[in-house]
Amino acid sequence: MKKTILFLTLAGLSQFTYAAEEAEQPSPSPIKFGLYAGLTYGGDEVGKLYYEDDSTERVKAGGLYTVGASLSANVWQQVDVQVNLGYHADSASASNGDMTFSRIVFEAIPYYRLNESVSLGLGLTLHSNVELDSDFTEDATFESATGVVLSGKYALANTNSEFELRFVSQEYTLEKVGSFNVIQDYTVDAKHIGVYYHYMF
């Protein structure tokens, strides 16, 4: 009888210790910070450089590279909201000058996690400080504009890495050329696709 009681007591202590260890394990943080970089393609041509060898290089409203930081928060079960702040630009260079089309990008994208790896999102993007800076012509300024982001993300298991495939519907309205205001509406299509890499921590 004493051996039986001792065995039951030890078993109970073992289960209690295991439960305590489980309780002590920290739960995943509902808020994550991240850095990202990406490549994009699309949009209207907003500038072109001609070289002496008869080659050309185009600058597009939807290109070409982007870098930024993000904050992601779990707001409800399988729903996360990610906020991105970044710089997006396309450029062309020559020995006698450069041409760059750039903007500051702010995004808010709700995501639904289908499983541990795949998330789908649909959100809004706000582009400000939209400018074409050129050493060859007058600079051009565009109005701030909002657009729509369709995003799919894939998280690599046991890492902090995520890959994103996205489509952005966006257009810009020309505001100034040099110091002169533009009276007539002139819009530039900036729709593009992109592939991003995110590192979350």
**What is this structure's pTM?**
0.83
Which band of pLDDT confidence, cut at 50, 70 and 90, is reported for residue 27?
low
pLDDT band at residue 50 under the 50/70/90 scheme: confident
What residue spans define the domains of the chain?
Answer: 29-200
The alpha carbon of residue 68 and the mean position of all alpha carbons in its chain are separated, in whole angstroms, by 7
pLDDT at 18 over 70: no
Please indicate whether residue 8 or residue 11 has the higher confidence score (pLDDT). Answer: 11
Q: Which residues of 135-170 are buried (b: 16+ CB within 10 A; e: fewer)?
A: eeeeebbbeebebebebebebeeeeeebebebebeb
In tens, the pLDDT along 64-85 reads 999 999 999 999 999 999 999 9
CATH architecture of 29-200: Beta Barrel (2.40)
